[in-house]
Chain A
Amino acid sequence: MYPITVQQKERDTIGLKQHSPQSRRTYVLKLISWHYARVANRNTRLRVTISPSEAFPFTNCVAVNPLDFPDELVHILINGYPLTVRYDVTSLTSYKPLV
């Protein structure tokens, strides 16, 4: 799902020390391009988790990370079903999901 893992990032960062500033800049530009292409396409796969709080389901939106969706209140299809995304601004607390 994610082409760059934390371990890969660390390895690449270490590797960058051996590269010239030019190739390092190219790498960063490629990384930014990849991120924006991913955001623009949004044809990706995400892992399902429960709503972040007892109150969140009452928004009738799905909770996302802002890095996955830079625009809040955008409409998406989840397995073909339309829903609206909203940032999770609540802290994750232990609760028994009612809805």
Chain B
Amino acid sequence: MALGSIGISLAQRRWIGIKEIGAEVTIEHFPSSTTLNREAPKFAQAIEIEVDFLQRANGNGNNNNNNTLLYYSAKDMCMSFVDDFRGIVMTTGQQIVFMFQGDKFIGTIKSVNFGGDHPIASVPPPSPPQSGDGTGIILADTKVIFSKASGSTITIIPSVP
């Protein structure tokens, strides 16, 4: 990455509202003294993600012509997810992409739960998010709850308690 440049993926650019490559963006430390309403990110106790196929390992995303298994274990997905994204921040309303068992998925963060006295941030914040309440850091013990996106052919087998 060239000095003075920042590589931002398509999903992230859509979320932030960046329309073109080469645009300049303002970078602030998180938390920053200049963002008075912003709190430091808290550790996420649980997050809820609505998922759909982005691209399957042996076919295109979300098509029904593929005869391979469309079932995924929620427990296995959760373990893989926290292993891959430990230490990074995720925010309510953010679009994320991830891989599991060779398939590529796109997800939308529906809620971030901090536990304790902190409320669940379940409503997508206005753009840009004005407080740190909807932003949490993924930890090894963060519980990830996957749900199927509307119209998706994916089936997630719930974890047995």
Give chain A residues whose Cβ lies under 8 Å from the Cβ of B41: 75, 82
Q: Mark B84-96, 1 if CB is under 8 A from A, else 0.
A: 1101111100101
Kindly state whether residue A16 has any CB partner on chain B within 8 Å: no
Give the contact-size bracket for chain B. Answer: 35 or more
Q: Mark A31-68, 1 if CB is under 8 A from B, else 0.
A: 00000000001111111111110001111111111011
Are B26 and A43 in contact, with the CB atoms below 8 A? yes
- Chain B binding surface, main DSSP class: mixed
Binding site for A on B (CB under 8 A): 1-13, 15-18, 20-30, 32, 34-35, 38, 41, 54-55, 84-85, 87-91, 94, 96-99, 104, 106, 127-130, 132, 135, 137
Give chain A residues whose Cβ lies under 8 Å from the Cβ of B84: 58-59
List 5 A-B pairs, minimum CB-CB distance, nearest first.
Answer: A63-B7, A80-B128, A57-B9, A84-B88, A88-B1
Give the contact-size bracket for chain A. Answer: 35 or more
Are B9 and A77 in contact, with the CB atoms below 8 A? no
CA distance A81 to B93 in the complex (A): 11
